[in-house]
Amino acid sequence: MKVYETQDIRNVALAGHGNSGKTSLAAGFLFAAGATNRLTRTDEGNTITDFDEEEVARKITISSAIAAIEWGKKKINLIDTPGFNIFINDTKAAMVAADSALIVVDGVAGVEVQTEKVWSFAEEFKLPRAIIINKLDRERSSFDRALESVQSVFGRTAVPIQLPLGAERDFSGVVDLVRMKTYTYPPDGDGKGKEGEIPAALADAAQKAHEALIEMVAEGNDALMEEFFDKGTLPAEHIQDGLRDAVHQMRIFPVMCASGLHNVGSDLILNFSLENFPNPAQRGAWPGALNGSEAQRAVKDSEPVSAFVFKTVADPFAGRVSYFKVVSGIVKNDANLVNARTGGGERLSHIGALFGKTIQSITELHAGDLGAVAKLKDTLTGDTLGDKASLIAYPAVKLPEPSIAYAIAAKTRQDEDRMGNAVHKILEEDQSLRFYRDPQTKEFLLAGSGQQHVEIIVSRLKRRYGVEVELHAPKIPYRETIRGRADVQGRHKKQTGGHGQFGDCWIRMEPLARGEKFAFENEVFGGAIPRNFIPAIEKGIVEAAEKGYLAGYPVVDFKVVVYDGSYHDVDSSEMSFKLAARKAFKAAMEAAKPALLEPIMNVEVHAPVEYAGDLMGDMNGRRGRISGMDTKGGTQIIKAQVPMAEMLNYQNDLTSMTQGRATYSMEFDHYDFVPSMQSDKIIAAAKAAKTGEEEEEE
């Protein structure tokens, strides 16, 4: 791979809803550019940008991949991103490295839920973008219907710069509305269109669309507007110049036509990307922090070296591979840089340009370029590498917390020994995963964006690292508390041959506000209990609270005041008072109206508007309380508070209710009382489980 200057680089993200054909388009671009010798197909599981074993097996994009291609003596770094909701966080993490985006829309389905999601990512990162209506060769595809869908969601600034030649299986080329020429593509061709004149049957439609494009281009440019009013039209070169400015300023989002499967329109999209998308320097400076203060770094070779690591891949053979964007300066092979987070040095041996899973060796990478390097010591996703003398740190991309967790257990003792290390390697490459041990249930939990996400990680553990694990629904971390007050005595007396045991305490127990956990006060006066025994009383109550009273769950949100008692000069000890406190705790729980608490989750669902009624009815059936509703484009946003126990199978239910077109996120909010009917069942189940354990021990 040649070395390219900043002005000759384009970093373009391919993003859209799952199955809109992004990977097939990427394969078409690579074939048209001569980077591959045949048009690879997603359904064959052998494309350049879907190379992970799980992607090949499932024939979907799970993780973002990059392929650098040479086109028109310039370099385009294509970033092929996932489109399914459970992997969409990886799309957001990768789009930070892009300088523009091609939003892919299915010619049959039109704008879908994840189309809007990736559009919002592009808006967040202020990426100039264009829209590709893909799969126009499919049965029931319609450019007009898809365009109507696009404009209803994204507005009139989504304006066609192409029209299709033919429809469905007869789709064979496009009309270029800037140059007013046609480009046709023979079946099984090389992806390069043959220029021709617009057929008479399309002349009126093309002229009308051409004039609409001119109006949109001139609308934000005074000089072009004046020329348009004087002459009634604009020459092609002026339209092109105005279009480039409008795309850079995000005033216009051009709409193009394509078929990734039959490679129709690939060359025109690549030409468009070079002509109209900004190079990295034109996007402006990157914000960061330098010496504890806000700072910016221009994307220039002349600035001090800095690189942002936007993705990590855990390769079982090559080790950790870091994908980075050179923000400033020139990164050379064998460069020694400093990690802004750890302060440690990193040697970048054998840097390269990315082509799917292959790293093509290169001597240096200029500002704005994307590259990869293997085996950095302590660098992770979101880290900044730079020159020690001017060490700037760029902010990491913020991703939402995982929405679902599963208990994970190793199948064998050998798997158990290797599981932790293998999981942590996968955590390095997937920032939307969490792995932790629940202190109450003692289970190891693996949390991800959805059931399929977690299942893929389990499959990856087996394929890559030979670790077999089992998944099951996690135990609900219930809590116990009290609703009333109690005033009780705890007395422990035991006489043995030598010293006896004696401890006696009086306590008051009362509820605290939710979330205040536990409070302990000593109001003993006159030496009724020596001060050195008071900590033992508190410890006895804390230990008893951890084991619970109703169903073995920790007791929370209560206050204990010890105010009286008695002791024996010889027989009293810390252990005696700890045991007395446990008895007092049990007696107090009996009298203080004990109750179960359950975790309540904040749930946010994004779904097409037509499913809103069914989803709200389902939420009510899950004991949920709707807290808010909003509509954005064709998407309904439903916010609710729902008990965690009712959400364990929600992913599957949501998929079946909406044909996989909805997404949701969930996070813990607070604890609340369990209704008596559910509470009785939970307590009965806990007692039955305890009885079973005791019988097994016997």
pLDDT of residue 40: 59
Q: d(Cα 392, Cα 285) in Å, to the nearest integer?
A: 13
User: Is the pLDDT assigned to residue 44 strictly greater than 70?
Assistant: no
pLDDT of residue 585: 95
pLDDT above 90: percentage of residues in the chain: 52
pLDDT for 188-227, tens place per residue?
767 788 999 999 999 999 999 998 998 888 887 778 888 8
The CA-atom distances, in angstroms, between 254 and each of 14, 23, 128, 367, 597 are 15, 21, 10, 27, 54
pLDDT for 438-451, tens place per residue?
776 778 888 887 77
pLDDT of residue 55: 57
User: Is the pLDDT assigned to residue 98 strictly greater than 90?
Assistant: yes
Tokens of 300: 């220039």
Q: d(Cα 22, Cα 26) in Å, to the nearest integer?
A: 6
Closest CA to 592 of 565, 570, 561, 625: 561
Contact 42, 24 (CB under 8 A): yes
Write down the pTM of the prediction.
Answer: 0.75
SS3 374: strand
Query: Residue 118 — pLDDT band, cuts 50, 70, 90?
Result: very high
Kindly list the structural domains of the chain, giving each domain's residue range(s) and its CATH number in brackets, ordered by start.
Answer: 9-195+252-283 (3.40.50.300), 286-393 (2.40.30.10), 404-472 (3.30.70.870), 480-592 (3.30.230.10), 598-677 (3.30.70.240)
When pLDDT is averaged across residues 379-392 and rounded to a whole number, the result is 92
Percent of the chain as helix, strand, coil, to the nearest 5: 35, 30, 35
When pLDDT is averaged across residues 47-55 and rounded to a whole number, the result is 63
Contact 621, 656 (CB under 8 A): no
User: Is the pLDDT assigned to residue 87 strictly greater than 90?
Assistant: no
User: Is the pLDDT assigned to residue 697 strictly greater than 60?
Assistant: no
User: Is the pLDDT assigned to residue 41 strictly greater than 70?
Assistant: no
Taking the CB of residue 249, how many other CB atoms lie within 10 A of it? 11
Residue 121 phi/psi, 5-degree rounding, is -65, -45
Give per-residue burial for 602-636: e unless 16+ CB within 10 Å, then b: ebbbbbbeebbeebbebbeebbbeeeeeeeebbbb
Beta-strand pair 335-339/358-361: unpaired
Taking the CB of residue 520, how many other CB atoms lie within 10 A of it? 17
pLDDT for 639-672, tens place per residue?
999 998 898 888 788 888 988 778 777 777 889 9
Closest CA to 430 of 407, 409, 461, 408: 461
Query: Residue 38 — pLDDT band, cuts 50, 70, 90?
Result: low
pLDDT of residue 423: 85
When pLDDT is averaged across residues 479-483 and rounded to a whole number, the result is 93
pLDDT of residue 698: 47
pLDDT for 288-333, tens place per residue?
999 889 999 999 999 999 999 999 987 767 778 999 999 999 999 9
The CA-atom distances, in angstroms, between 204 and each of 97, 177, 196, 208, 213 are 42, 12, 17, 6, 14
Q: How far is CA 602 from the centre of its chain?
A: 17
pLDDT of residue 366: 97
When pLDDT is averaged across residues 391-415 and rounded to a whole number, the result is 84
pLDDT of residue 147: 95
Q: d(Cα 299, Cα 293) in Å, to the nearest integer?
A: 19
| Sign of torsion over alpha carbons 128, 68, 257, 274 | positive
The CA-atom distances, in angstroms, between 64 and each of 78, 292, 560 are 10, 32, 55
Range scoring the smallest mean pLDDT among 42-51, 326-335, 535-544, 579-588: 42-51
Query: Residue 591 — pLDDT band, cuts 50, 70, 90?
Result: very high
pLDDT of residue 11: 97
Tokens of 74: 């310039």
User: Is the pLDDT assigned to residue 50 strictly greater than 70?
Assistant: no
Average model confidence (pLDDT) across the chain: 88
pLDDT for 335-347, tens place per residue?
999 999 999 999 9
Contact 86, 112 (CB under 8 A): no
Q: d(Cα 647, Cα 624) in Å, to the nearest integer?
A: 10
Range scoring the smallest mean pLDDT among 104-108, 286-290, 311-315, 544-548: 311-315
pLDDT for 246-284, tens place per residue?
999 999 999 999 998 888 999 999 999 999 999 999 999
Closest CA to 105 of 94, 95, 96, 113: 113
| DSSP state at residue 224 | H
* Residue bearing the bigger pLDDT, 63 or 581: 581
Contact 580, 488 (CB under 8 A): no
| Sign of torsion over alpha carbons 318, 319, 323, 329 | negative
